């Protein structure tokens, strides 16, 4: 007997494409980042993580210039100096999501069960759902069938994470004056859905 538990939230991020190692970063407000072969284009949304020294750079940003290096603009100037490490990957900042977490039971009734059927819980067996967020108009998007890593927050500290395949995409809204497009995706989980609690 199958069962489904539905969860929803309003924040998170989806990582897609290949992560590229960062080898340098300079600047105070506009940061020029060195990441060989990054392949990023202007208006791509990216998530930068694990940078040491210039930790203000860690987070989600929009690419404002791109050549052999790429540039992002911080919300406020930093006085930090890059020392080592870090990676960059395309992302979608999620503004709404749902997960259908599916489980199953198996009947184990035998001659010793008496008058009632007996079942055991087989636990979480699969998950699917939807998420939506904003992308720069014209930025590279995840494609149908591509693999994406999701981190979906239930609150400030508790979240689900897992790898999914994109199964559908819809442009929901174009925002004039910001060059942003609200996109909605459906997905199918391809492995374990991990729940992290504080």
Residue 1 confidence (pLDDT) above 60: no
Residues 25 and 50 in one domain: yes
Contacts of 49 (CB under 8 A, 6+ apart): 58, 86, 87
Residues 101 and 173 in one domain: yes
Q: Which residues pair with 162 in a beta bridge?
A: 150
pTM of this prediction?
Answer: 0.79
CB 113 within 8 A of CB 107: no
Residues 33 and 9 in one domain: no
Contacts of 29 (CB under 8 A, 6+ apart): 73, 74, 76, 77, 78
55-102 pLDDT per residue, tens: 999 998 989 999 999 999 999 999 999 999 999 999 998 999 999 988
- Compute the average pLDDT of residues 5-15: 91
Share the mean pLDDT of the chain: 87
What was the pLDDT predicted at 179?
A: 65
Residue 124 confidence (pLDDT) above 80: no
Residues 180 and 103 in one domain: yes
Residues 121 and 161 in one domain: yes
| Domains contained in the chain, number | 2
Residues 38 and 59 in one domain: yes
- Compute the average pLDDT of residues 169-188: 78
Residue 174 confidence (pLDDT) above 70: no
Residues 108 and 79 in one domain: no
Q: Which domain holds residue 75?
A: 18-88
- What whole-number distance in Å separates Cα of residue 25 and Cα of residue 82? 6
Residues 71 and 154 in one domain: no
């Amino acid at each position: 007997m199958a069962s489904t538990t539905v969860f929803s939230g309003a924040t998170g991020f989806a990582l897609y494409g290949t992560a590229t190692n960062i080898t340098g970063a300079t600047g105070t407000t506009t940061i020029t980042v060195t990441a060989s072969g990054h392949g990023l284009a202007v208006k791509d949304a990216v998530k930068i993580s694990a940078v040491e020294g210039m930790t203000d750079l860690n987070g989600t940003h929009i690419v404002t210039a791109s050549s052999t290096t790429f540039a992002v603009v911080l919300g406020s100037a930093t006085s930090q100096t890059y020392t080592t490490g870090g990676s960059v990957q395309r992302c979608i900042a999620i503004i709404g999501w749902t997960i259908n977490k599916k489980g199953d039971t198996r009947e184990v009734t035998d001659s010793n069960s008496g008058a009632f059927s007996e079942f055991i819980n087989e636990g979480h067996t699969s998950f699917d759902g939807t998420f939506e967020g904003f992308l720069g108009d014209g930025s590279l998007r995840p494609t149908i069938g591509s693999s994406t890593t999701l981190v979906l927050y239930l609150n400030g500290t508790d979240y689900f994470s897992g790898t999914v395949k994109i199964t559908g995409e819809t442009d929901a809204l174009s925002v004039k004056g910001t060059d942003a497009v609200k996109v909605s995706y459906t997905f199918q989980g391809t492995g374990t859905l991990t729940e992290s609690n504080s």
